[in-house]
Structure 1
Amino acid sequence: MASTGDTPLYRDIFEVAPDPIIVHDAETGAVVRSNPAAAELLGFDREELVGTHVGAFSPPGYTTEDANRLIQEAVSDGSKTVEWAVRNSDGAQQWIEVTLERAEIDDESRVVAFFHDITDQKERNRARLERNEQLTTLIDNLPVVVFTIDSDGVFTHSAGKGLASLGLEPGELEGVSVFEAYADYPDVIEAVETALDGEEVRVTQDVGELVFETWYRPLFDDSELSQIVGVSRDITDLKRHEERVEALSDATNELLYSRSEGAVAETVTGIAKRIIERPFAAMWSYDESDDTLYPIGATGPATELADVDGPSSPETPLQTLLCLPLDDHGMLCIGSSKQEPFDSDERFLLEILASTAAAALDRVERETKLKAKQTELERSNEALQQFAYIASHDLQEPLRMVSSYVDLLESEYGDELDGEAAEYMAFAVDGANRMQEMVDALLRYSRVETQAGEFERTESDAVVSETLDSLRMRIDEVDATVSTGSFSAVRADPNQLGQVFQNLLENALDYTDEAGVDPRIEIDATEADGVVEFRITDNGPGIPDDKVEDIFEIFKRGGAHDTDGTGIGLAVCQRIVQRHDGRIWAEPSETGATFRFTIPAATEVATDE
Structure 2
Amino acid sequence: MANDPKEERLFPLRSDGPGVYAAFAALAEESGYARHLAQQEKSWELYLVCLAEDLASFLAAYPAADTLIPPQPAGRARDLPAAAGLEAVRTFRPLGLSFTIFFSLLKCARQVFFLCLSEGNREQVRAGCALFFDRMEAAAVSQWVKEESGSVLHRLRKARQYILNEKRRYAAVFSRMAEPAFIVDRERCLVDVNDAFEDFFKVRGETLIGKSCDVVLGHAVCEACLLEKVLSEQGSFSSIEIAIPVAGETRTVLMSGTSLGFVNGEDSGGIVVLQDITEQRRIELALQASEEQFRTLVENIPDVAWRADAEGGLVYVSPKVKRICGYEPEDLLGQSRFSHVHPEDVDEVRKRYGLLFSKERDFNLHYRLRHKKGKWLWVHDRAQAVGGYATGVFSDVTKLRKMEDELKEYRVWLEEMVDERTQEAEAVNRQLLLEVAERQQAQQELERVAARLRHSNAELEQFAHVASHDMKEPLLLIVSFAERLLAKWPEKFDGKAGEFLGRILKAGHQLQELMDNILQLSKVRNCHHPFGSVDLDDLLREVMDDFEEKTRQMGGTIGLGTFAAIEGDRTQLRQLFQNLIANALKYRQKSIPPLVEVKGRMLPGKIYEITVQDNGIGFEEKHAERIFQPFVRLHGRHEYDGTGIGLATCEKIVARHGGRIIAKSRPGEGSIFIVQLPLFQSKRL
Structure 1 length-normalised TM = 0.42
Where is the helix percentage greater, Structure 1 or Structure 2? Answer: 2
Structure 2 length-normalised TM = 0.37
